[in-house]
Amino acid sequence: MATPDRFGPVDLPLGAAAGDAAPGEEAVYLFALLDGAAAFVEGSLSAGGESAPFIPPILHRAGPIAALISMVPFSDYCGADAARHLGDLPWLAPRTMYHAAVLRQAMQSSPVYPVPFATLFASRDSLSAFMRAHVQTLGGFFRTVAGMAEWELKASARLDRREALEAVARAARPNWAQLAPGTRYLRLCRDRPVLIAAGRALAQGIAARLAERLRPPAATLRHLALLPAPDSDSDSGELVGRFALLVPLAAAGALAQGVQRLATEAAADGIALSLSGPWPPFSFRPDLPRPPPPEEA
């Protein structure tokens, strides 16, 4: 299953506003866009029978692009019912998990342009128009990610530990070792915010340099936004680096070995590395803006 932040706000346009939908109207739920030349096996995600959260996905084609879609009640995702559903974990969890399962299945047979949970279109015609508008962009993207998967590397550090603060102070102040222990302790307390900030900058630089050394096996690397720091008593510490790696499927073992080697080196600097994946290539997708509506005569 993909990590929770993979399912963020809808980044493809709704085909219509919630108020435009008649009672009982259905919407097109989009799981992913695929290379139309590849063959996704329809019905392969029908497990669960009547209890499955979606009608099994089918392929909808528009030119050389294919879309994995299902039909859903519009009111489930727009309007008052949607607000209730999206706050109801027993309703939400099986749907996000199924969405992730569809993406994993699709990756087995085609390059995938994944879309977030709850991406809707009002009709197949509006989806087809969207797909045709981005044929060239999607074609280039599919060529880039063919045979690839995304992995995520995270680096974290306990910046507030006494040892970490001492190391920063020692590096910044040549006479630090000559100070009396009591004086060092008082200055650590006094300068704690400054030392943590300096340690953060140092750790972020180290993490970025370590990540760059994973090329290869990574074909491409992107720096991701850092998530909010956890509480200071967290075992993992503060996140000081987060990177998306686009890696050939055949190089997954080499990637894991490379991260393991770097983890030993990182630990000497008080940094812990963790690797997760493989995911569909969310972080490497091009933007697909909605084409403007046709002008009225």
Q: Is residue 297 part of a domain?
A: no
Q: Are residues 233 and 116 in the same domain?
A: no
Is the domain of 139 the same as that of 236?
Answer: no
Mean pLDDT of 282-297: 73
What distance in Å separates the CA atoms of residue 136 and residue 65, rounded to the nearest whole number? Answer: 10
Considering the domain architecture, whether residues 127 and 166 belong to the same structural domain is answered as: no
Amino acid sitting at position 9:
P
Q: Does the structure show a pLDDT above 70 at 45?
A: no
| More confident site: 236 or 149 | 149
Q: Are residues 124 and 188 in the same domain?
A: no
Mean pLDDT of 77-86: 75
* Closest to 286 (Cα-Cα) out of 6, 9, 101, 33: 33
Where does a domain end: 146, 181, 205?
Answer: 146
**Angle made by CA atoms 108, 114, 115, in degrees to the nearest 5:** 150
- Count how many domains the chain has: 2
Tell me, yes or no, whether 142 lies in a domain.
yes
Query: Do 122 and 172 fall into the same domain?
Result: no
Amino acid 122 reads A
Would residue 291 count as lying in a domain? no
pLDDT for the residue numbered 204 = 95
Give me the phi and psi of 115, to 5 degrees please.
-120, 155
State both tokens at 233.
């008593």
| Token pair of 173 as six digits | 């102040």
Note whether 154 and 266 are same-domain residues.
yes
Pairing, β 58-62 against β 112-121? unpaired
Q: Is residue 287 part of a domain?
A: no
In a domain, 101, yes or no: yes
9, 132: one domain: yes
294 in any annotated domain? no
Residue where one domain finishes, among candidates 146, 165, 199: 146
Region 260-286: mean pLDDT is: 94
Note whether residue 114 is domain-resident: yes
Q: What are the tokens at 21?
A: 């939908």
Domain extent for 21: 4-146
- For the stretch 216-225, pLDDT in tens is 999 999 999 9
* 110 in a structural domain: yes
Domain boundary among 146, 175, 202: 146
| Tokens found for residue 153 | 């590397």
Residues 6 or more apart from 159 whose CB is under 8 A from it?
A: 196, 199, 200, 203, 237, 238, 240
Parallel/antiparallel/unpaired status of strands 58-62 and 65-73: antiparallel
Same-domain status, 275 and 213: yes
Closest to 151 in 3D by CA, of 263, 277, 5: 277
The stretch 172-181 carries a mean pLDDT of: 82
pLDDT tens-place string over residues 89-142: 888 889 999 999 899 989 888 999 999 988 989 889 999 999 999 999 999 999
Checking if the pLDDT of 82 tops 80, the result is: no
Residues 88 and 170 in one domain: no
